[in-house]
Amino acid sequence: MKSKSSVSVYLIILFFGLYMHTHGQCTTGQPNISVEAEAFSSITIIEGTSATLNSPISGSSYQWTLNGINISGATTSSLTISNFSNTDVGDYNILVDGVGLSNSITLDIFSSSISDYDRDRQALIDFYNSTNGTSWTNNTNWLTGPLETWEGVKVENCRVTELRLSDNNIAGTIPTSFRDLSELKRLSLRNNNISGVLDISRMTSLLDLIMSGNSLTDIQFGSNNALQRVYIQDNPFTPGKTIDISSMRQLIDFRAARLNLSNVITSGNYDRLLYYIISENQITGTLDISTMPNLILLYAHNNQFTDFNLGTGTTLQRFYFYNNPIVAGRTMDISGMRNLLDFRVQGLGLSGLTISGDYNQMLYFIIRDNQIGGTLDISRMPNLRLLYAHNNQYTDFVVGSHPELSRFYFYNNPVSPGKTLDISSMRKLLDFRIQGLGLARLIMAGTYNEMLYFIIKDNQIGGTLDISTMSNISLCSADNNFFENLILPSNVTTSSRTLSQLFVRNNNLHFDDLLPYSSVIGAFNFAYNPQRNVPTTVSGNTVSVNVGGGLDYTWNPSGPNAASFVVSTSGTYSCDVRNAAIPNLVIKSDAVFVAGTSSREPNIDKQNTKEVDFLEDTNIFPNPVISGNPIQIEVSPKNKQQVNLDLYTIQGKKIINQSITKDKENGIYQISSGGLVPGIYMVSIEVGGKKVTKKIVVQ
């Protein structure tokens, strides 16, 4: 319809948030507009919206007309048309005091091909109003400029295809109309405070859904076959929800951690999937990633899985599956996973772990708190930085060279006693823990400047405890070993000391080993008491004890304050040795029978005297003896006597007992040292009720 006059026109359009414009090929209508004119023109109205027409002049009476026919009840200076439809299309005019304006206004309706654009616009307006858009961090041009200029909005072919407003202080619920954004390809609203339920069931073109870090209680998926990236982690979903991704075969990256999910339904192959993150939910059943052949990263830890089906996993680099109640006794095969760099399966109750070949990229190998037995072999992981293999059932190990290893935890494994561990290549160690392995030897070389925690207690390691090359050491725990010497960092006696805890109890340390550090006793947690007992030596009627640095000797039952003396009264003697410079330390000697010289001592027949004499001449050789070789004991009784031979650990535990009747004057007896852990042992030789104890060192 055409205007009926050429009278000049001025048109004032009052906006409620938007204005009418034409941009490219997308014509935008405006709901709820108000028009005031001397001469009307042609305007197009969106179907279902409202429009208000205002008279440009005033008078005493008014009558609005449509196509020349009076509109019933339209007798005021303004006319509001609600829910605009096809029946409202036409020419509008107004009679003021019975005289009509020379021009009319033509109202037309938008075609359905354009209404999708305006529905998108309305959905965004609703979203803005529902989430307090005025408080957003960035809301540039929203509700004021063309839709294409609104912050975070992208329009293609007159449809909204992207909405990106992450980290924008958006708070509130998702309106129902939001689902009308049916041509969205990328929706990124992460790290806001959006609550309620997100419905994307109509967004069949969606490629990226980025909604992590919000307050959503659910997401309603449809088929969404095009989805490639789904980031929905860290939302407080209602517990027990299930997500079905059976149709999402184009997925590349799926992240649904910390959602309280009870299940994620998968089926078929996911050949494109690279990242699969479902950790920290309550998902049960079997973890099956055998249909994800190109997976690079799996985070499925802290769930309720009871079984697994892994496939070969040739591309896997990060594998986190720890803390799941897997049925005890399962074996995991990672022999095909040669690209692993971070592997974590602690706390699964595994009984076996199958590995083979080289793992040159492996950096973090965490298998603690299982029941894995056999041999721990990390020799094919040359770049390893962290090993947690403690609390398992390993009986042996193969370590290899590890110049990059910084943390080594292997404690609480029933390793066969007597093993040697070589860490001479591990110069970057900062935390080393091997307590309770029964090791006989620890090989170190060079400096360990990064070492902070050195825990080697409860082994059988002897020789010198030398931590002088650990210039930054904070804690050393070496209790319950056989160390005979102690060398600490040079700064331990200065204010620049880094050592704060030192535990060296139950070793073979004497006062002279501790005296160089007497000035700092009490300055930090330095625990050295008690130390192991020392042998008591008997030669004829002389009893002696050799404790380096001892000053005060208390003999039991009695004796002078001396390291040795001649016993006058036969009896069982031992000694307590002290040095006031090392407070609270008492080094005890083993009790041993000594024949006295006193005339008041009980009568001893001639034969017994001869027995004691020949016992004092007993010879043990070789000493030290190599483990596995026989310990030879030369005894020379004067007649047939029963000889009892006992072998004790330094703690007094009897290991071997032999009783032999000697039928010749001189003879050599043998005790097997096979299976003995290197260390110090005591041999007791008894003949005719008389006994002598000798020390033997097994290497």
Give per-residue pLDDT as tens, 226-258: 999 999 999 999 999 999 999 999 999 999 999
53's CB contacts (< 8 A; 6+ apart) are 34, 35, 64, 78, 79, 80, 81, 92, 94, 105
* Distance, CA of 431 to CA of 291 (rounded, Å): 39
For the chain, which residues make up each domain, given as ranges?
11-110, 328-415, 441-531, 537-594, 612-698
Q: What is the pLDDT of residue 47?
A: 65
Q: In this model, does residue 612 exceed pLDDT 50?
A: no
Q: What is the pLDDT of residue 15?
A: 27
Q: In this model, does residue 610 exceed pLDDT 60?
A: no
Q: Are 52 and 34 in contact (CB under 8 A)?
A: yes
Identify any residues that bridge with 95 across adjacent strands, giving them in sequence order: 63, 100
For the structural domain made of 612-698, what CATH number should be given?
2.60.40.1930
Q: What is the pLDDT of residue 145?
A: 78
Q: Are 509 and 483 in contact (CB under 8 A)?
A: yes
Q: What is the pLDDT of residue 665?
A: 52
Q: What is the pLDDT of residue 622?
A: 79
Q: Give the rounded distance of the alpha carbon of 193 from its chain centre.
A: 28
592's CB contacts (< 8 A; 6+ apart) are 536, 538, 543, 572, 573, 574, 691, 692, 693
Residue % of the chain over a pLDDT of 70: 85
* Mean pLDDT, range 257-280, rounded to an integer: 97
Q: In this model, does residue 609 exceed pLDDT 90?
A: no
Q: In this model, does residue 6 exceed pLDDT 50?
A: no
pLDDT tens, 633-673? 777 655 556 777 777 775 556 677 766 655 555 567 777 77
Q: In this model, does residue 21 exceed pLDDT 60?
A: no
Given pLDDT bands bounded at 50, 70 and 90, which one contains residue 143? very high
* Distance, CA of 352 to CA of 374 (rounded, Å): 8
Answer whether 11-110 and 612-698 agree in fold: yes
Given pLDDT bands bounded at 50, 70 and 90, which one contains residue 497? very high
Token readout for 102 is 């020379």
Tokens 């290893």 correspond to what residue? 405
CA atoms within 13 A on the CB side of 596: 16
pLDDT tens, 508-551? 999 999 999 999 999 999 999 999 999 999 998 999 999 999 99
* Distance, CA of 324 to CA of 349 (rounded, Å): 9
Tokens 């021009």 correspond to what residue? 103
Query: 34 vs 16, 50, 111, 692, CA distance in Å?
Result: 9, 9, 21, 119
Q: In this model, does residue 305 exceed pLDDT 70?
A: yes
Between these two residues, 441 and 56, which has the higher pLDDT value? 441
Q: What is the pLDDT of residue 654?
A: 66
| Span of 38-52, 273-287, 451-465, 509-523 with lowest mean pLDDT | 38-52
Q: Are 216 and 194 in contact (CB under 8 A)?
A: yes
Q: What is the pLDDT of residue 30?
A: 42
Q: Which of 347, 354, 359, 362 has the alpha carbon at shortest distance from 310?
A: 354
Q: Are 55 and 38 in contact (CB under 8 A)?
A: no
Q: In this model, does residue 3 exceed pLDDT 60?
A: no
Q: What is the pLDDT of residue 615?
A: 57
* Distance, CA of 552 to CA of 263 (rounded, Å): 73
* Mean pLDDT, range 594-616, rounded to an integer: 53
CA atoms within 13 A on the CB side of 170: 28
Q: What is the pLDDT of residue 252?
A: 98
- Assign domain 11-110 to a CATH class: mainly beta
Mean pLDDT of the chain: 86
* Distance, CA of 500 to CA of 510 (rounded, Å): 22
Return phi, psi of residue 610, to 5°.
-65, -35
Q: Are 119 and 20 in contact (CB under 8 A)?
A: no
Q: Which amino acid is at 16?
A: F
End-to-end CA distance of the chain: 113
Q: What is the pLDDT of residue 16?
A: 28
| Span of 5-9, 22-26, 471-475, 554-558 with lowest mean pLDDT | 5-9
